[in-house]
Structure 1
Amino acid sequence: MKKYLPILDWARRYRSEQFSDDILAAIIVMVMLVPQSLAYAMLAGLPPEMGLYASILPLMVYALFGTSRALSVGPVAVVSLMTAAAVARLELQDPAQMIAAATLLAFMAGAFLVILGVLRLGFLANFLSHPVIAGFITASGVIIALGQLPGILGISAGGQTLLQLVPSIASGVQASLDNLNWPTILVGGGTLIYLFWSRAKLAGLLKKAGMNDRTAVITSRLSPIVAVLATGFAAWSLDLGEKGLVLVGDVPTGLPGLALPSFSPDLWSALAGSAALIAILGFVESVSVAQGLAAKKRERIDPDQELIGIGASNMAASVAGGFPVAGGFARSVVNFDAGAATPAAGFFAALLMAVATFFLMPLLAWLPKATLSATIIVAVWSLVDFSILKKAWSYSRADFMAVTATIVLTWLEGVEAGVAAGILVSVLIHLYKSSRPHVAIVGQVPGTEHYRNVHRHHVTTYPQILSLRVDESLYFANTRFLEDLVYKEVSERADLKHVVLMCSAVNEIDLSALESLEAINSRLKDNGIQLHLSEVKGPVMDSLQRSHFLHELSGKVYLSQHQAVQDLL
C-alpha cells in the first residue's frame, strides 16, 4: 500500500517540529493562492470561485498520493489557457455547460494520468522534449499576457491566437480612444507597475533593511495579496464600480457539493484530445518542478507515482467543481522556501482555503478584475524566455526547428496545435537522426590500444582492414544506411580483406538490422572479404546467439577492437 499511498510512509514518522513548519508554510501559501486561483479561473474563462474550488480538494488528495514534499497543486497559467482553448472550441453559450465541460476535462485528464501511473508508463512524457516545452511555455506566455491587456486597458477584445488577439486589441483601443476607462487603466496599470517593481526590487530592499534572505524573498512573492487588498479597498471606498471599473462581483459563499462530471459520450469524444494534451503537459510541468525542489534536499520523487498523484488531484478538482490542475512553479517554490517539511503543508493550506471560502467571499466582490489581469501578466511574463531560440540555434539546428515550430504554431493556430506540432517535429527529427547513425572509420592511436575516428585523431590504419565504429543501435530505420555505407567504403579499397564493425555503442539489433547484417556478410563473403564484430555488448550477443547469424558469419567476434586488429594483421 505504501507504493500507492506514500502518506503511509511519511505520516508515521511525523514530528511536532514538522507540524509547526508545515503550518507556517500553509499560511503563506494560502495567502498566495487566493488571488492566484481567482486569476487563473478568469484566465480559463470560468467563474472566479472555480479557482478556489480547484485549489482545495486537489491539494488534500495530492498529500495522500504525491511523493514531493514541496509541490503545491492547483490552477496554473498554461493549463488554464489550454482549458480555455478546449472549452472555447466547443462553442458553448450556456455558462453552466462551459462549467460542466471544464470539470469533465479535469476528470478525463486525471483518469488518463492515473491509468498511465498504474501501468507505470511515465516514460511516455519523455516524448515532450525540453526545447518543445520551453518553446510552448514562451509562446503561451505571450498569448496569455496579450489576452489580459484588454482587462488592464478597460476595452473589449479577445481571441486564442495572435492572429485573433492583435487585431482585436487594436480595434478595441481605437474604439475607446474617445472614452478612456480611466479607473480601469489606473488600477490595472498601477497594479502592473507595482507587481513588476516588487518582483525585481522589493526583496533587495527588504534585505538592505535588515530582513533575512528567506523572509525577504517570501515577502516579495506575496506582493499580489497586497495589490488585492489595496485595489479592493480603493474600489470599495471610492465606489469605483460605479465609475466604470469592472469588479469580480458576488461570489458564492462556502463550498459546493461534490458531484460527478457529465458522462455525455459526445462531450467525452469532443474533449478527449484536449484532455490528453493537458494531462501530459501538466504532468511534465509538475514533475519538473518537483524534481528540481527535491534535488535541493537530496530527496527523490517517483515519476510513476506522481502520475497517480497529479491524476487523482485532477479527478478531485472535477468532483469539487474545479478545472484541470498541475503543480505550480511559483507557489511550490514559496512552499519550499517557507519551510514545508512534508506534503501535510499542502493539506493544511487546503483546510485554510476551505475556511476562507466561508469568510472572504463577500470581500472578493470588490476585487477589480484589472488587478487579476495584472497578476496574471506578471506571473506568466517570467515564463517567457526567447533565449531558448538562441541556445537551440547555436547547439542544434534540429532542436531549433522544433522550438520554432512550437512557438509559431502556438501563436498562429493555438496551444493544442503548438504542443502537437512540437511533439511531432521532435519525434520526426529523432527518427531522421537515428536513421542516419554516425559511423566512424577508426584507427589505432599510436602506442595505445585505443581506436579513434581517423578524421579527428592521428591514428594508424591498415589497407587490408576497415574498422567501422557504429554509434547507434541498429534497427529497421537505419539498416539501409549502414549497408550503403559499408558497400561504398569497400568499393574504394582494392586491398581490403577484413571489415570489422566496432559495436561498443550498439545497445540493440532488431530483426531488420539482423537481416541487413546477414546481407552484408553474404555480399562481402562473395567478394572474398570477411566480416567481423568487436566489443559486442552482452544483451546484443544474447540476441545474436538466438539466431543463425553467428554460425554463418565469415569472420569472428572479438572481445576488443585491438584484439581484432592484432589477430587480423
Structure 2
Amino acid sequence: MSAIAARLIPAWLRHYQLAMLPTDVVAGLVVGILVIPQSLGYAVLAGLPPVYGLYAAIVPVMVYAWIGSSNVQAVGPAAVTAIMTASALHPYADKDVEQYVLMAGLLALMVGALLWVAGQLKLGWIMQFISRGVSAGFVSGAAVLIFISQLKYLTSIPIAGNGLLGYLSSMVRYVSQLHPLTLAIGVVAFTLMVLNRYGKQWVWQSWLSSSHAKWAERLFPLILLGIAIFLSMSLHWTTKGVATIGTIPQGLPTFTLPYLPDFREALNLLPTAGLMALIAFVSSSSVASTYARLRSETFDANRELKGLGLANLTGGVFQSFPIAGGFSRTAINVDSGAKTPLASLVTVLVMVIALIAFGDILSPLPYAILGATIMAAIIGLIDIATLKSAWQRDRLDAASFMAAFVGVLVFGLNTGLVIGLMVSFASLIWQSSQPHVAIVGQLAGTEHFRNINRHDVITYHNLLMLRIDESLFFGNSESVHRRVIDATKQYPDAREIIFIMAAVNHIDLTAQEMLISLNKELLAQQKRLHFSFIKGPIMDVIGDTPLITELSGEVYLSNMDAVEALKDR
C-alpha cells in the first residue's frame, strides 16, 4: 500500500478483522434504531424541524468515523450543543425557517473551523484547564434549562428565554394557552420514560432476566414512539389541537451553502461558537478518553479536535447543526458490541433508510412525545454526585460547580460558562498564591525529615528547617516571605535557616529577588540562609546570580548534609 493511501485510509480499516464484523453491524443497527427519537428531539431542542436531527447523524458521523480519535465513540446531535444552538440563534427564531436552518449550518461551520484550527495548533492540552466542577456545573445547569425549555412541547405554552427567569416569566404570561390533551400526553409519556429509566428494577428486572431487562429498557422509547404514532392516527390528535411533526421531507441531506451574514452578525456568533467548540471538545474528549482507557487504547486529544472539527465543517454544508460525542449513544454502542467505527457507518445507513422510507410513518408523532423523551433523558445529566463529592473533598471545585450552575440558570449558557471558568481560574490563582511551607524535623534513627505537626521528630534549637512544597514565582513569593518571617519569630533562637528545595521546580525572577532580599533581612538579624536539595536545572539558572553568589550560608546536596554541618554551630 502506498504511503498516500496509508494516510488516507484510517488504521482501523487497514487492519480490520472480519471477526469483528457481526458485532459492529449489530451495534450499528441498535444505535441507529434507538437514537432516531433522540435525534428528532435534539433537532427540536435546537429550534430546527425534526428531520434535521437525522441529517446531523449522517455526514458528520461518516466523517468522524473516518478520521476521529475514538474507535467506539458515537457522535451526533447532543443535548448541550442543541440548546446552545437554540440560545445562539434565538434572535432568528421568529424569522424564516429556511434562514434559521442556514444560520445553524453557519454555526456548525464556525464551530468546526475553530476545532480544526485548534487541532492544527495542537491545543488539546486546553482540556486540562477545564475543571471537573466547571464542566459538571455547566452541564447540570444546561440540563435544568433543557428540561424547562421542553415544557413548551408538553403544554403548548410558548415558553422562551435565555435563562430560568425568562422561561418562568413567559410560562406565567402565556399560561392561558395551556392545551389539556397535549399536557396529558406529555405527562403520561414522561412518567413512563422516567419509570423505564429509573425504576427498571421494578418495571423490568422483577420479571425478566438481567440481559432481557436491559434490552427492554433500551427498546421501550422506540415502542412508546410506535404506540404514540398509532394513537395519534387512530384518535385524530392533530384535529384536536395536538402539535405533531407533520410531513418529513424524504431524501438525503444535500450540499447547501450556509447563510452568509454581515460582519456584525458573524462577530456576534463567534463567542458562542467558541464556547460550543470548547464544550463539544471537552464532552467528546471525556467520553473518548474514558473508553480508550477502558479498552487499553491510546487517545490523541489533537486528533479528536481535528476529527470533531472536520465533522462539523462538513456537517455545516450538509444541513447539520453542531454535533459532539454523545454519552448515552456511546454507552449503547459499546454495550452492543461495537469494536470499530464501522458500527457508526452502519448507524448512518439506518438513518438513511429512515429518511427514505419512514418519513410518512413519523409524521403523526406528537411533539409532546419528543419533549418527554428529552426531559427523561436529560435528568441524568444533573450531576448531584459530583457536587456532593466536591463539597466533601474540594470546596473550591464545589464553588466552581455552583458558579457555573447558577450562572447558567440566571444568565444563560454562555455567560454561565464564563462565570464558572472565572471562578475556577480565581481558585487556581488563590491556591497557587498560598504555597505550603512546612517546618520539619528529623525522624529518629533515619535520614528522613517530616512536618513537625504530623510526626514525632527531632529538632535542633539553632536550626530552622523549612520545606517549600511549591515552585516559587511572582504569585506566591510574598506569601513564602511572610511565612518564613513568621517562622523565625516563632523560633527566635534558630540562627541557621535551611530551605529544603526538593519540591521546587522553578524560581522566576520575582522569587529570586524575594530570596535575595530575605537573605539580607536574615543576615541583619544575625541569621544565615542555607539551601538543600536544589535540583540541577534550577541550579543552572540561579548558580551565577546574586541569590547564590551573595548567599550568607551554604548550598548542601542533602538535608542530612546540612544538619550534620550546622547542628553544633
The TM-score with structure 1 as length reference comes to 0.94
1:240 aligns with 2:237: yes
1:276-425 alignment to 2 at 5 Å? 276-425=274-423
Q: 1:45 pairs with 44, 47, 69, which one?
A: 47
Q: Quick one: distance in 2 between partners of 1:91 and 1:376?
A: 20
For residue 60 of structure 1, report the CA deviation from its aligned partner: 0.6
Matched with 1:196 is 194
1:497 counterpart residue number: 495
Range 109-118 or range 151-160, more displaced: 151-160
The answer to whether the 8 Å contact 1:203/1:220 transfers is no
> What residue ranges of structure 2 are gaps of 5+ in the alignment?
none
2:227: which partner in 1?
Answer: 230
Between 282-291 and 520-529, report the one with greater CA deviation.
Answer: 520-529
User: 1:549 corresponds to which residue?
Assistant: 547
1:466: which partner in 2? 464
CA contact (8 A) 2:70 2:299 kept: yes
Query: For 1:382 and 1:404, how far apart are their aligned partners in 2?
Result: 18
Moved more, 470-479 or 529-538: 529-538
For 1:509, what is the secondary structure of its paired residue?
coil
> What is the RMSD of the two structures over their aligned residues, measured on CA atoms?
2.3
TM-superposed CA distance for 1:6, in Å, is 9.0
Moved more, 398-407 or 362-371: 398-407
With 27-36 and 287-296 compared, the bigger mean Cα shift is at 287-296
Q: Distance in 2 between matches of 1:105 and 1:496?
A: 66
Displacement of 1:244 after TM fit?
1.2
Deviation at 1:212, TM superposition (A): 5.3
Query: Helix, strand or coil for the counterpart of 2:474?
Result: coil
Quote the offset at 1:381 in angstroms.
0.6
Contact 1:443 1:454 in 2 (8 A): yes
Is this contact kept in 1: 2:533–2:556, CA < 8 A?
A: yes
Return the alpha-carbon distance in structure 1 between the equivalents of residues 291 and 561 of structure 2: 48
After superposition, the Cα gap between the structure-2 partners of 1:467 and 1:89, relative to the gap in structure 1 and judged at 3 Å, is farther
Shift of 1:218: 4.1
TM-superposition CA deviations, 1:321-347 (whole Å, max 9, x none): 111111000000000000001011112
Paired residues of 1:203 and 1:219 also in contact (CA < 8 A): no
- Of the structure 1 ranges 314-323 and 156-165, higher mean CA displacement relative to structure 2 is found in 156-165
SS of 2:10 mapped into structure 1? helix
> Residue 129 of structure 2 is aligned with which of 116, 127, 130?
127
Provide closer, same or farther for how the CA distance between residues 160 and 224 of structure 1 changes in structure 2, counting only shifts above 3 A. farther
CA drift at 1:151: 1.3
> CA offsets, 1:363-385, max 9 Å, x none?
22111100000010011011113
- C-alpha deviation, 1:318, in angstroms: 0.8
Greater alpha carbon shift after TM alignment, 392-401 vs 280-289 = 392-401
Q: Give 1:157's aligned residue.
A: 159
- Once structures 1 and 2 are overlaid, which stretch shifts more, 491-500 or 22-31? 491-500
Does structure 1 residue 252 correspond to structure 2 residue 249? yes
Determine the structure 1 residue equivalent to 2:90.
88
* 1:158-201, Cα deviation, whole Å (9 max, x unpaired): 2221111123223444x25xxx6343123212211221122134
529-538 or 443-452, which moves further after superposition? 529-538
One-letter amino acid of the counterpart of residue 291, structure 2? L
Matches of 2:92 and 2:253 in 1, distance apart? 25
| 3-state SS, counterpart of residue 123 of structure 1 | helix
Secondary structure (helix, strand or coil) at the match of 2:493 reads coil
Q: Alpha-carbon deviation of 1:131?
A: 0.8
Matched residue, 2:484: 486
The total of aligned residue pairs comes to 564
Per the TM alignment, residue 53 of structure 1 is displaced from its structure 2 partner at its CA by 1.2
Deviations 1:95-129 (A, max 9, x none): 23322221111111111111111221111122221
Shift of 1:361: 1.6
Match in the other structure for 1:519: 517
SS at match of 1:222: helix
Alignment match of 2:141 (pick from 117, 139, 142)? 139
Question: Which has the larger displacement, 551-560 or 236-245?
Answer: 551-560
113-122 vs 485-494, greater mean Cα deviation: 485-494
Q: What is aligned with 1:108?
A: 110
Q: CA deviation digits over 1:56-87, x for unaligned, max 9?
A: 11111111111212111011111111111111
Cα distance in 2 for partners of 1:435, 1:206 equals 54
* Candidates 533, 558, 561, aligned match of 1:560: 558
Task: Call closer, same or farther: CA 1:386–1:447 in 2, change over 3 Å.
Answer: same
Residues 326 and 210 of structure 1: is their aligned pair in 2 closer, same or farther, counting only changes over 3 Å? same
Equivalent position SS for 2:531: strand
Relative to structure 1, the CA distance from residue 546 to residue 291 in structure 2 (aligned partners, 3 Å threshold; closer, same or farther) is farther
Residues 546, 250 of structure 1: alpha-carbon distance in 2 compared, 3 angstrom cutoff:
farther
- Taking only the aligned residue pairs, the percentage that are identical comes to 38
CA contact (8 A) 1:4 1:305 kept: no
Residues 73 and 325, structure 1, Cα contact 8 Å, conserved in 2 = yes
Contact 2:196 2:203 in 1 (8 A): no
Stretch of structure 1 that moved more, 346-355 or 333-342: 346-355
- Greater mean deviation of Cα atoms: 132-141 or 287-296: 287-296
- Report the 3-state secondary structure (helix = DSSP H, G, I; strand = E; otherwise coil) of the residue aligned with 1:93: coil
Counterpart of 1:431 in structure 2 is 429
Cα 1:393–1:385 shift into 2, 3 Å: same
Q: How far did 1:29 drift?
A: 0.7
How far apart are the structure 2 equivalents of 1:47 and 1:184? 19
Between the aligned partners of 1:344 and 1:543, the Cα distance in structure 2 is 53
Q: 1:2 to 1:478 in 2, by over 3 A?
A: farther
Q: Does the 8 A contact of 2:408 with 2:417 survive in 1?
A: yes
| CA spacing shift, 1:504–1:5, aligned 2, 3 Å | farther
> With structure 2 as the length reference, what TM-score do the two structures score?
0.94
Check if 1:267 corresponds to 2:265: yes
For 1:97 and 1:282, the matched residues in 2 are separated by: 24
Cα displacement (A) at 1:517: 1.9
Distance 1:522 1:6 in 2: 65
Q: Is the 8 A contact 1:521 1:530 kept in 2?
A: yes
Deviation of 1:209 after TM superposition, in Å, equals 4.9
Asked if structure 2 preserves the Cα contact closer than 8 Å seen for 1:439 and 1:469, the reply is: yes
Question: Structure 1, unaligned stretches of length 5 or more?
Answer: none
Residues 509 and 260 of structure 1: CA distance in aligned 2, closer, same or farther (over 3 Å): farther
